[in-house]
Chain A
Amino acid sequence: MAVGRTIGGRLIHLIWIMFAVSFLTFLLMFLAPGDAAAKKLNAQGVAVSEEVLEQTRVSMGLDRPFLVQYGEWALRALRGDLGASYKDGFPVADKLVRALGRTAVLTLSSLSLALLIALPLSVLSALKRDSVIDDVTRLFSFIGNSLPNFLISVLLMYFLSVRLRVLPLTANESVQGLVMPCLALSIPICGRFIRQFRAAILEELGKPYVSGAILRGVRRRYVLKSVLHNVSIPMLTIVGLSVGTLLGGSVVIETIFRWPGLGKLAMDAISNRDYPVIQGFVLLTSTVYVVINLLIDLCYRWIDPRLNESGGEA
């Protein structure tokens, strides 16, 4: 996402991206076949007559030009009004806010777990390249990378809940309920982290300043410290991109474990054909994703102040 060169440029880029994202999100609604008014009435289970249909069309503003409809929708969205659910008439924004907390708990704990395992293992693996530790770590990373999260969930459920009966089958408020969803969400991401972190560290270790410092007799501990400092920028990029995977994965995991977060809300909305909720979900998750990556971008300047002077890498 390297387009803007200064912080101001990044912000302008962010505004343009969010405009385009909101426009595409608005368009999502029109992917579904049929008339929006009929869809709303169907979702509410109202008998559709021509007269009711016409009234609903006018009340939804469907008789006005397309761009006007988008403009009004976007202006309301900016004020935090994402419309009302077709299903029960509750404001979509309220539903999303209520579910956001649970998804944050799930995704943040999964991200922390993945980092907790991946950071030490990737450093160890890169330092002891081609040793037994490296081989085992890479095998673990490869397996994690190849397992779909839904498969991990089902296997965990089968072995831990059905066979051994040590954990509850569905997620409840307790910490025990969080164990399986968190594992299922973090294992694939952990596998990818180890692989990419290791590659980044190995690349940094191959740079001349490292061998120079070691030959000069600098203690390895200090060399490692500057290597890790330098490698933190590519690592942050990797973590930022994983937020997208976490948000997508949480839909699957929350559906399987009945975890009442954003993903479960979205899947329920899909099965109810509740389009405003689906739109709200896509808009919210994309905003979170874009903003987190912008913040990470700003972190680069804090880690490496030289980026401020040259205006950042293109």
Chain B
Amino acid sequence: MMKRAKPSRRGRSRLRLFIVLAGLLILVSLLAPLLCPNDPNATSAAAMNRPPCAEYPFGTDRYGRCVCSRVLMGARTSIFSAVVLVGVTFAVGTALGMLAGWYGGIVDALVMRLADVMLAFPQMVLAIAVAGILGGGMVNAMLAMGITGWTLYARLARAQVLSLKEEPYVHAARLSGLGGWRVLTGTLLPNMLGPLLVTAATQIGVMMIGIAGLSFLGIGVVEPQAEWGSMINASRAYMQLAPWAVLAPAAATIVTVMVFNCLGDSVRDALDVGVER
């Protein structure tokens, strides 16, 4: 057999490092309004396309708005929307999948056929169509990504319930008089959380890229609300004049996605479950 890395000390310190980094990013996004050096929405005709200086650390965009402040406020939009979206799809998908696996029959057929159909659409194609027709806005963009997002958790949760259903401790819990709901949440859920959490952790980066992509296309978060994808799109026509207005949100996106992807990887290594996405 191949050597399989157990959650080593190195693995655990890696996990701790990325939890801290991700926590820092979330903290920055929560405290963004306090950290902004300038008003993110204040335009200034006198300071258009200004290169980075003491007053504007990342320069200004074509309306004279402070790029640094907008990147900070954009962190709020990007990180918040991705984390909330993953949380909601995780909860909905897991609940539906568990119900399908536990009760079987018609519930199972309904939930899983619906999941099959949603998986027949390429995720971004459906998201673009839905967001495009609904017409922009952060909530609509999240809805568009979530329509297919829940299926991952539903399939995983259903498979877990099916494999754990006949375990002696589940029978014991039922024989001791616990109802279906108590067995599901109290006995089964804690035992199947691992792979679900790993999937959720890896999905944060995916959802972040997806929402930024929609905003970049102009059908996600719309101006004047600051979002990295839409900032990159709006500034790319002025790339020759003001490259900082593109490069700053680009760097922010890359760093954030990488931190959350590393977090996902180290959660998987630490829990040692073979979910490969």
Contact = CB atoms under 8 A, between A and B. Distances in A.
Interface stretch (A224-232, A241-249, A300-308): A241-249
B205 A146 contact: yes
Contacts of B116: 1, 3, 17
Contacts of A205: 2
Interface string A138-152: 000011011111110
A-B pairs with lowest CB-CB distance, top 6:
A248-B124, A244-B122, A206-B2, A270-B132, A20-B117, A148-B209
B125 A282 contact: yes
Contact of A21 (B121, B129, B216, B219): B121
A142 B129 contact: no
A150 B122 contact: no
Interface stretch (A76-84, A109-117, A155-163): A155-163
Interface in B99-139: 113, 116-117, 119-130, 132-135
B49 to A, nearest CB: 15
Contact of B129 (A20, A28, A143, A271): A28
Interface stretch (A48-56, A62-70, A173-181, A284-292): A284-292
Nearest to A251: B128
A154 B128 contact: no
Contact of B246 (A158, A196, A270): A158
Given A146-B205, A158-B246, A285 B253 contact: no
Contacts of B205: 146
Contacts, number: 137
A266 B132 CA distance: 9
A251 B213 CA distance: 10
B243 interface: yes
Given A32-B135, A162-B239, A267-B217, A21 B128 contact: no
B125 A286 contact: yes
A24 interface: yes
A251 B254 contact: no
B227 to A, nearest CB: 13
B120 to A, nearest CB: 5
Contact of A24 (B117, B132, B209, B246): B117
Nearest to A24: B117
A31 B217 contact: no
A239 interface: no
Grouping DSSP codes into helix (H, G, I), strand (E, B) and loop, the A interface class, with mixed when no group exceeds half, is: helix
B176 interface: no
Given A248-B128, A252-B213, A267-B217, A202 B254 contact: no
Q: Which of B116, B124, B246 has the most A CB atoms < 10 Å from its CB?
A: B124
A289 B125 CA distance: 11
B123 A146 contact: no
A275 B240 CA distance: 36
A247 B240 contact: no
B125 A248 contact: yes
Contacts of B119: 1
Interface in A270-314: 270-271, 275, 278, 281-282, 285-286, 289-290
Contacts of B123: 244-245, 248
B236 interface: yes
B64 interface: no
A252 B109 CA distance: 35
Contacts of A162: 239-240
Nearest to A30: B133
A42 interface: no
A255 B217 contact: yes
Given A20-B117, A243-B122, A150 B129 contact: no
A143 B255 CA distance: 10
